[in-house]
Structure 1
Amino acid sequence: MITKAISDQFSIRFATPNDIPIILQLIKELAEYENLLHMVVADEKLLDEWLFQKKVAEVIIGEMNNTVVGFSLFFYNFSTFLGKPGIYIEDVYVKKEYRHQGYGKSFFRFIAQLARERGCGRMEWSVLDWNEPAIQFYQSLGANPLNEWTVYRLTGEGIQSLAEVK
């Protein structure tokens, strides 16, 4: 297990299957913060299958004195223009009591170092329009919004319908 000490008390490590219950708990806390708890259908079995058996995404966990303070889930995307992979950050979540202490920035720095080491051409993520604290934080990192791009999404029934189009 790779662990990177950020300070004497804080470290970030890659999650293992033993972390599945805490990952699910953190996902639910994030969803509650975003007023989207009703949309969480993930369970421990799904997380095990997709994160640790099929390995389609990676999770890192931040710990302060061996207490979990947050997590990030990310995966590769690919830029045809750059001809290189990128990292898409699905979630970065820091528990409420640990916010504004530099942990979020540590997660992004850790992922930026991974992106550099892995030869990635970019890092991307989305933010809810109403989440002004997150927007300000991302701008403080030097990130820029892609105002000319609109995200489109198909889920569940939409995927099913499109797959059946003849």
Structure 2
Amino acid sequence: MKTKELTFRFATKEDIPLIMKFIKDLAIYEKMLDEVVATEALLEEWLFDKKRAEVILAVVEGKEIGFALFFHNFSTFLGRSGIYLEDLYVDPAFRGYGYGKSILKYLAKIAVERKCGRLEWVCLNWNKPSIDFYLSLGAKPMDDWTIYRISGTTLNELAD
């Protein structure tokens, strides 16, 4: 397939079923489908009613071929917001044509326009194709940092 022009648009409530599909497709790729508990109703509440995250859709010839879900975080050291990329997904039929790089470039443009101090994300350690891709863009792994997470029952117990 010849690379075709890629455009972007911000998702709307009408895109919730598509966003859900992309989330599940990504979870299948990451071998984590059993961990997806999100529903369309939750996405509507958190993405559109509470506006806690944003979604851009990558579009080729009128077809959505991928998405990026992101939100703002804050760096006390920089004294400004950053963009945290939660999910990036490109349909397998459209990989290898530079669309993933274009999505990251678009997110970088958003970060610069919003005067953010950084763009960051995590990647599974086994995902060598993605790691190699990120390194090729000049991304630096934060080897001195370990992500810690509290969720589910443990989160509820800590809150009590």
TM over 0.5: yes
Match of 1:27 in 2: 23
Aligned-residue RMSD, C-alpha: 1.0
Equivalents in 1 of 2:118, 2:91: separation in Å?
26
Please say if 1:123 is aligned against 2:128.
Answer: no
Number of aligned residues: 158
Equivalent residue, structure 1, for 2:96: 100
Q: Which amino acid aligns with 2:103?
A: F
Deviation at 1:99, TM superposition (A): 0.5
Q: Is residue 2:61 matched to residue 1:65? A: yes
Q: What displacement does 1:9 show? A: 3.3
Q: What letter matches 2:69 in structure 1?
A: L
Distance 2:61 2:4 in 1: 9
Q: Which runs of 4+ in 1 moved over 4 A?
A: none
The percentage of aligned residue pairs carrying the same residue is: 53
Structure-2 separation of matches of 1:112 and 1:53: 25
Q: TM-score scaled by structure 1?
A: 0.93
- After TM superposition, list the pairs within 5 Å mapping 1:10-89 onto structure 2: 10-89=6-85
Per-residue deviation, residues 12-37 of structure 1 (Å, max 9, x unmatched):
11000000000000000000000000
User: For the residues of structure 2 that align with 1:26 and 1:114, how far apart are their CA atoms?
Assistant: 21
Rounded to whole Å, the distance in 2 between the matches of 1:137 and 1:151 is 21
Q: Aligned letter for 1:86?
A: G
Q: What's the TM-score, normalizing by structure 2?
A: 0.97
Matches within 5 A, 1:106-117: 106-117=102-113
Q: Alpha-carbon deviations, 1:24-67, whole Å to 9, x = none?
A: 00000000000000000111100000000000000000111011
Mapped to 2, the partners of 1:106 and 1:147 lie a distance apart of: 26
**CA distance in structure 1 between the aligned counterparts of 2:31 and 2:95, rounded to whole angstroms:** 18
Contiguous gaps of at least 5 residues in structure 1: 1-6
- The offset of 1:68, in angstroms, is 1.2
Q: Which residues of structure 2 form unaligned runs of 5+?
A: none
2 CA distance for matches of 1:93 and 1:32?
A: 11
Matched, 1:143 2:139: yes
